[in-house]
Amino acid sequence: MNKNQENSFWEKQKEGKWKTLTSPLSQDPEIFSNFDDFITTFYWKFREHKGVEKGTYNPEIDFQGFAGFEDFEEEIEMGHCDLHIDIISQQTPDGKKVENSEVYEGKMSIKLNQKYLLDRLGMDKFISNYQENEKGTSWSTLPVGFNKLIETIAHELAHAYQNTIRIDNGETVKSQCESSGDKKQYPRLVAEHTQLTKEIENMIANSTEYQEFKSWWDEGKNQQIVNKNYVHTQKKDNKELDPNSKVSDELKELSNPKPDNQSSVESNEKQIESNPVAVNSNSHRSWWSQLSSTNQSLIVGGIVLAGIISLVIWLTTRKNKGRKFKG
């Protein structure tokens, strides 16, 4: 986007206001369900691809939504894979532990940064480090588009796989990556994670599930503008930015995209919402709709009767003319 668009885009994000747009999406059950299915599907597909069948290792995995992230000055965490392990051992009737009876039960979860939901609204960048001084204005951008989203999912699934195959090795650290800061201490884990991420990305990109997921995601971008809750949120947020000024054309374009394939029904919904007085006004009702049902029935009956009489007269006249011609 150009500089004017970036400036307007920042207006939607500064002081945390971007969350008023993404928070409703983070609580959308359809979005949650699709991400949960997508992540779970590729966790198991990759395990099977690696020969780690279900039942070989116990941990299950689930998606826990778009929350729980804090932005730090140095970096922004865009995803997180968590592993919780319960060690269960058998006991004798007198309460003593049975040796070598330990069973490791693991529960894994993946969370994604809510900033990725900006792409659902047509915004593929997050603006940060905004500064104004005598030299002008400067800022940094963080990509949050669909491709980056898939990269992060693959990254977290690589962590999940590393946790899975090491769940019972007794070591505290089971997974590490380039961004963990422990590359020197765990070089083998880091190198393995990098390779696993590439393999998972490749598996995702060449799957039918990926095409279906991307089609659903892109379709949702076009539908967001007719979501009434989202429209109301936008109007409120724009007013909070500067109640005494108009929202710039660039900001309107970013926050209110108009897809070419938007149906006339959707357009009518927007028109009705923006002008409810005109829709409800009696002055726009036709004279017919203002008649009672009895009067409507009488008028219809009269019209039908007049038509029948006209038909009888026409047939009689034609019959008489035929007789005169024959004579």
pLDDT tens per residue across span 99-112: 877 776 778 999 99
Confidence of residue 41 (pLDDT cuts 50, 70, 90): very high
- At position 64, the amino acid (one-letter code) is Q
Distance of CA 94 to the CA centre of its chain: 55
**What's the pLDDT at 85?**
75
Confidence check: pLDDT of 275 > 70 = no
Dihedral sign of CA atoms 73, 75, 81, 86 in order: negative
Alpha carbons 202 and 46: distance in angstroms, whole number: 11
Confidence of residue 199 (pLDDT cuts 50, 70, 90): very high
Of 84-88, 98-102, 188-192, 296-300, the least confident: 296-300
**What's the pLDDT at 45?**
95
Place of tokens 């204005």: 137
pTM above 0.85, yes or no: no
Angle of helix 146-165 relative to helix 208-223, nearest 10 degrees?
140
- Domain ranges, ordered by start, for the chain: 3-89+97-224, 298-327
Confidence of residue 36 (pLDDT cuts 50, 70, 90): very high
**What's the pLDDT at 160?**
94
- DSSP character string of 60-77: EEEE--S----B-SS-B-
Alpha carbons 293 and 305: distance in angstroms, whole number: 18
Let me know: does 80 contact 66? Beta carbons within 8 Å. no
The residue-averaged pLDDT of 216-240 equals 57
Q: CA neighbours within 13 Å on the CB side: how many for 190?
A: 11
Task: Name the CA dihedral angle for 294, 296, 300, 306, rounded to a multiple of 10 degrees.
Answer: 80
pLDDT digits (tens, 9 = 90+) for 284-295: 444 555 556 666
| Residue 203 neighbours by CB under 8 Å, 6+ apart | 42, 45, 46, 49
**What's the pLDDT at 38?**
98
pLDDT higher for 90 or 26? Answer: 26
The residue-averaged pLDDT of 64-92 equals 79
**What's the pLDDT at 276?**
35
Structure tokens at 46: 């990759």
The residue-averaged pLDDT of 248-274 equals 37
Let me know: does 209 contact 44? Beta carbons within 8 Å. no
Count of beta carbons in the 10 Å neighbourhood of residue 121: 22
The residue-averaged pLDDT of 266-278 equals 35
